[in-house]
Amino acid sequence: MTRAKPGRAGTAGRKSLRLAFVGWGAIARTAAGLLTGAPVEIVAVATRGRSDLVDPPETARLITDPGELTDIAPQVVAEAAGRESVAEWGPAALECGADFIVSSVSALADADVLTSLRSIAIGQGAQIHIQPGALAGVEALAAARSLGLETVEHRISKPPPAWLGTPAETLCNLDKLDKPYEFFSANAAETATKFPKNANVAMTTALAGVGPDQTKITLVADPAATANCHRITAHGAFGDLDVTISNNPLPANPKTSAMAALSLVRAIQNRTSAIVI
């Protein structure tokens, strides 16, 4: 008799995957809506406060303390709550044997956080899944790493208003630009630390490829842009990679790319699907 692996939903009998969300903002709510009909049971929603939740799932227990995950026993915990939540909820998720899906990848620019989570995951036999968010081509980049990568560059171009409220305001005059302007260039670790929301995916590219210190990130304010654009280029023994994606905003939150929620849905669906791509 074939049995499902511990921590995974079995296809026999279509047993539901026990899923907990950390955060219940636009990304989590969109993902939950798109998972309707899938063999997934949302058993918990974790937030800092319970009064601001919009239509939480009837099946979900609302929690504010990471320690509560132990009694709930989710198989997967999906984070979609911001950088600080990764270090807060990740250890508890992994300690109770759940796999941890990370959306706020900029948190892993902190080497101590990354090292700690990796150590717990290894000790518990669990996985940390960095979902690609708004990016395309991450799987190819990670595959190419096996044969050796020489260079990886990631260019992030957004309309000037998208950079408001960030250090970009002190690096250029966002209101006066009449052509694309490269206002910041650094490695992925520095970029994700200084622009944790707007360049969150810089660490995704870094961890898939040559690491935070060797991955070059360039930030651009483009007055002609109507969408957020990511271009990843890489060179190595495999050949050359050049992938560009232009993201439309998530209707529930125009500051977030729709692909961020769609990639989270795919990461969860892959835990229950008979065929995984």
- Nearest-angstrom CA–CA distance, 112 and 251: 35
Catalytic residue among 129, 154, 230, 235: 230
The one-character DSSP state at 174 is T
Burial of 197 per CB tally in 10 Å (0-12, 13-18, 19+): middle
Which tokens hold the place of 130? Answer: 């960095």
Q: Is the separation of the CB atoms in 250 and 30 below 8 Å?
A: yes
* Residue 230 known to be catalytic: yes
**Cα→Cα distances 70→13, 20, 92, 119, Å:** 25, 12, 8, 19
For the chain, count helices (H), then strands (E).
Answer: 9, 13
Phi, psi of 204 (to 5 degrees): -65, -50
Most distant pair of Cα atoms in the chain: their distance: 68
Q: Is the separation of the CB atoms in 155 and 221 below 8 Å?
A: no
- What amino acid positions are annotated as catalytic residues? 230
